[in-house]
Structure 1
Amino acid sequence: MVKTILLSGYKSHELGIWDQKHPGISVIKHALEGRLRVLVEEGLEWVIIGGQPGVELWGAEVVFSLQEEFPDLKLGVLTPFLEQEKNWKEERQDYYNSIIDRADFVDAVSKKPYIGPWQFKARDQFSLDNTEALLLVYDEEKEGSPKFLKAAADNQAEQGNYDIFLITMYDLQVAAEELQERERTDFY
């Protein structure tokens, strides 16, 4: 039974998603909800994210919606460094802060502003060391930034008891078809 899971995946720009109205977001959220719902029903208590725009923040929204049904589910945000959102556009900062304001726990692994890329690696390792599994929206065919976390998680899994759950492009296609079917059913 997994009690604490790290949730991550592609950043929004890696998926070609530039605004919050993109239809792909609902597909990703649907796929995440399906996986998280099963894990929550099996005893999941905490979902940890790094607060990156894209899959992580959309995943936070999924956690918030699941909390209506499962009030004991908690969201933790472990940022790699202080003020990670400082140079983001205002709209993205507002969205990020709306997630941070609702999270059950927020902290930065490095207690300094951005110094270097090693802070991301340190956050990933700290997060892996303090969770029991990784839920990653990732496809080997389309690498992108999640490949580094996936490699570290693979290492963690080889060391011992660590689970990796992937949501692949195939899974997203299935989620899209489920949503289309639901819309057709709701229409008639």
Structure 2
Amino acid sequence: MQNIHTLIVTGYRSFELGVFQENDPKVKVIKKVIKNTLEQYLNEGLSWVLLGGNLGVELWCGQVVEELKVDYPELKFSLIFPYLEFGNQWNETNKAALQKVVEQADYVDTVSHFPYKNPSQLKNHTHFLLTHADGAVIIYDDDYTGKTSYFLHDANEYASEHVFLIHQITMDDLQEAVFDDSV
């Protein structure tokens, strides 16, 4: 079994799940699943979580990591944006949510030091994340398509040539968590 020190966490954007309020019950379930998953890896040596800063799973994960730091002070997370000025086009509520997670992050940077120019910046971002982590936790179900399919495709390609863990959490896994009493 490989040691997992650094994990990427990614998945659905909030709008892909029909989540437009932070108090949506789906958020509670997803955060619980993220927390339980990260705790498994924390007991095996996880020390860093890499996030790309997208609305949805990634920002919720940043919030979960902050909660986990109470019991796991060694845990850190970084926001690595694909390009400069990431999120500037978002509405004020979403910008505020991003800013709060940025303030909590242990490290913040961008792969491209230019504002968005072309899709190669997104491809370079994915490559950077994959080459700086031991694995990825991906909340994504092939039956419910979304933007994360691009990351999952690249992660599977990368894993076919490198030692790289892919822990995929499906809609069935999320549904199971709904019926777990501790939600």
Task: Answer whether TM exceeds 0.5 for this pair.
Answer: yes
> How far off is 1:119 after superposition?
1.3
Q: Which residue of 1 aligns with 2:122?
A: 120
Q: Which residue of 2 aligns with 1:182?
A: 182
Q: Count residues in correspondence.
A: 181
Q: Which residue of 1 aligns with 2:38?
A: 36
Structure 2 CA distance, aligned partners of 1:143 and 1:124?
Answer: 18
> How far off is 1:65 after superposition?
0.6
Q: Structure 2 residue aligned with 1:45, among 27, 42, 47?
A: 47
Secondary structure of 2:160's match?
helix
Structure 2 CA distance, aligned partners of 1:4 and 1:56?
Answer: 15
> How far off is 1:182 after superposition?
3.3
> How far off is 1:160 after superposition?
1.9
Runs ≥4 residues deviating over 6 A:
none
Q: Which residue of 1 aligns with 2:95?
A: 93
Structure 2 CA distance, aligned partners of 1:117 and 1:18?
Answer: 26
Q: Which amino acid aligns with 1:49?
A: L
> How far off is 1:85 after superposition?
1.3
Q: TM-score, normalised by structure 2?
A: 0.97
Q: Is 1:140 aligned to residue 109 of structure 2?
A: no
Q: Which amino acid aligns with 1:145?
A: K
Q: Which residue of 2 aligns with 1:166?
A: 168
More helix by share: 1
Secondary structure of 2:146's match?
coil
> How far off is 1:18 after superposition?
1.0
Q: Which residue of 1 aligns with 2:104?
A: 102
> How far off is 1:120 after superposition?
1.3
Q: Which residue of 2 aligns with 1:17?
A: 19
> How far off is 1:117 after superposition?
2.0
Q: Which amino acid aligns with 1:150?
A: L
Unaligned runs of 5+ in 1: 184-188
Identity %: 34
Q: TM-score, normalised by structure 1?
A: 0.94
Unaligned runs of 5+ in 2: none
Structure 1 CA distance, aligned partners of 2:142 and 2:45?
Answer: 29
Secondary structure of 1:110's match?
coil
After superposition, give the CA deviation of every residue in 1:113-157 in whole Å (9 maximum; x if it has no partner). Answer: 111222111101110011010100000111211110001110111
Q: Which amino acid aligns with 1:137?
A: I
